[in-house]
Structure formats: structure tokens, C-alpha cells
Chain A
Amino acid sequence: MQEATFLILTALADGSQHGYGIISEVAGISEGRVRLRAGTLYTALDRLRADGLIDVDREEIVDNRLRRYYRLTPAGGRRLAAEAARLQANARAAMTRLNPGLGAI
């Protein structure tokens, strides 16, 4: 899974978000490292919808502008959980080997 995809799914993990909300959440989660642009975001959203990992939650009009909210589907939640577990296992292995004295955390 691409990092951008992982971060988008993470941004939706605790509730639905609209496009700009996802961009800000992703910037926050990655501590400013990943700043999604609109083209990249919508290519990813299109793909995630086609794969059934996210879905449209609802639409709102704010200041005459359309906001479409996206949410994680159950399949998306499972995919994200599996990916997060994989990354966590890798990170733990790396930390254990770097600091053998600390033992298992």
C-alpha cells in the first residue's frame, strides 16, 4: 500500500471527511510531510472507491460549494487494520534489533 493511500484511509478511520478535510488530516498525521494535491487526492479516492475501501457518506453545500464526505467501508477498515499491523510488526522488529538491551516492549 502506498503511503498516501495509507494516510487517506487513516484520515477516515475515526469518521467521515470531505476532500479538504482529508488533505488537512493527512498533513496533520504525517506532521506536514505529506501534502496531498487535489489531482493526487481524487485519483486515490477514485481508486479506493472502485476497490470498495471507501464510500460517499453524504454531501453538504457550504458557502455555495459542494462538500462530499467520504467514509471507510468495513472492507476498508479491515484493509487499514491489516496494513497497520504489518507496519507495526516491522517497526517493532526494527526497534528491537536497534536496541537489543531494551527487550520486548
Chain B
Amino acid sequence: MTDWSPGGDSFSISDRASSSARLERAYRRLVACYPRSFRRESTEEVIAVLLATAREGQRRPSVAEAADLLRGAARMRLGLSRCPRTVLHAVRLMYLGALAEVAVLITLLLSIDSIRSSTRAAVIHAVGPHAAPAATRQLLASVASTVNVTIVIDIAFALFAIAAWLFFAWANGKGSALARVGAIIACAIYGALTIQGYAQGDAKYAPVAAIVASSAVLVIGIAAVILLLMKQSWPYYTRPATAR
């Protein structure tokens, strides 16, 4: 092809070079999300592959490319790139469990007033209209303080449960045998507490949303434990630490 516009041609080459440099910088920012050990060994290689698969004239990473890289980075950071599917699903369920526990906490916080007023109404109804006002007031105050203590305990328990879910998800993803045993014990304790709570009448007084949420959390926990105990999960927890 005859080139009778040298200036224009050199401009288009430098233009293309700068857009590909910009694309490379954007790819590097995404690859920076990967764990250090992976970056040290593979950054240049991954960048080369990304640039080789980029479309002609592409200026920035596509949404699909970015999502794919971020998902890969998250999986590697959580140790999930090397674990069996069963463990992967169990860990995902545990993160879902943490999320459900957040929902439990939010419903609890939103229903504090209704819990207080319904227990108050129940006390007034129980003592009847003919009780001495002073005795009723005293009873109401003592019930109110018990309710407050219960609410604080429930909030603390929910916060602790969120932390526990996140910890067990992370540690099981890393293949810690201790974390697997811990998750099984924690699930058993949680199940026992939940069932005991229902037996004591939580089911009658607690808001329906809280019951649904805590039952959902329990089901998620049981499913995760079943996955952790499946045959395919065992090798991940019994292999030597150096292989992780």
C-alpha cells in the first residue's frame, strides 16, 4: 500500500501504542488483586495472555474480563482455587450463612421496639386490671430489664456468629482440618441452641422473620457440614501442609 501521508501514519501508530499501554495498565491494576505469591510468579505471563486475547483496538478491559479476573483473585485469596468442589460449595454456603446471620441481626435491631411493647402488653394482660399499680410497675420494670439483657445477648450472639461463619469459611477454604472439626462442632451447638430456643417458646414470641432467618441459617450450616464430610472433601484435609 502506498503511504502518502507519513505524518498521519506515525500518529496512528503512536495512538495505538498509547491505547494499548493504557489497556495494559488497566489489566495490571486488575492482576494486582491476586495474592502476592501468584503475582510474583505469574503477572507478566497473565498480562501477556490478556493482551494476546484483547480485541484489536481495545482500550479498556471488558466487564466480563474484569469480572473473570476478580473472581479468580477472590478464589485464590480464599484458597479456593485448589479445593474440591464439595469444599468450594461448603465455603460458599458458609459465606451465605454469614449473610443470613447479618439478616438475623438486622431483623433483631428493627424489631427491638415491637419486642419491648409486646412483652409489656403480655405482662399487663397477665396481671389483669385489678392488680396494685405499684406492683405492676415494679413487675414491668423487672421484665423490661430482662428483655433488654436478652436483646443485648442476642445481638452479641449474632455478631459472634457472623465472625464465626466468616472465620470457618476462610479457614476451611485454606484446608485446615481443625477448622473442619470446629465447623461441625459449631453447627451442632448452634442447632442445639436453636432447637432449645424454640422449645422454650422463642417460636411463640420472636418475630416470624427472625424464626425464618435462624432456621435458614441452621439449614445452611447443616448443608455445609454435609458437604465437608463428603468423600470428595476428605483428601483436601488429610494431605500434608506443604501441598496447600
B82 to chain A: which residues have CB within 8 Å? 46-47, 50-51
Q: Known: A46-B38, A46-B81. Contact between A37 and B65, CB under 8 A?
A: yes
**Interface pair A38/B49, CB less than 8 Å apart:** yes
A42 to chain B: which residues have CB within 8 Å? 38, 42, 46, 72
A32 to chain B, nearest CB (A): 14
Main secondary structure, interface of A, reads helix
**Interface pair A68/B45, CB less than 8 Å apart:** yes
**Interface pair A20/B48, CB less than 8 Å apart:** yes
Number of A-B residue pairs at CB separation under 8 A: 64
A42 to chain B, nearest CB (A): 6
Q: Within residues 39 to 69 of chain B, which ones have a CB less than 8 A from any CB in chain A?
A: 42, 44-53, 64-65, 68-69
B75 to chain A: which residues have CB within 8 Å? 43
Most buried by B among A20, A40, A43: A43
Q: Known: A37-B68, A39-B68, A39-B71. Contact between A66 and B45, CB under 8 A?
A: yes
Main secondary structure, interface of B, reads helix
Q: Within residues 4 to 29 of chain B, which ones have a CB less than 8 A from any CB in chain A?
A: none
Q: Known: A38-B65, A38-B68. Contact between A67 and B45, CB under 8 A?
A: yes
Distance in angstroms between the alpha carbons of A40 and B72 in the assembled complex: 6
Q: Within residues 22 to 43 of chain A, which ones have a CB less than 8 A from any CB in chain B?
A: 23, 37-43
* A77: interface (CB < 8 Å): no
Q: Within residues 209 to 244 of chain B, which ones have a CB less than 8 A from any CB in chain A?
A: 243-244
When the two chains form the complex, which single residue of A18, A23, A51, A68 contacts B53, counting CB atoms closer than 8 Å? A23
Distance in angstroms between the alpha carbons of A39 and B30 in the assembled complex: 10
* A97: interface (CB < 8 Å): no
Which residue on B lies nearest to A44, using beta carbons?
B81
B81 to chain A: which residues have CB within 8 Å? 43, 46-47, 50
Which residue on A lies nearest to B42, using beta carbons?
A42
* B76: interface (CB < 8 Å): yes
Distance in angstroms between the alpha carbons of A66 and B72 in the assembled complex: 20
| Nearest 3 Cβ contacts at the A-B interface | A39-B72, A39-B68, A65-B48
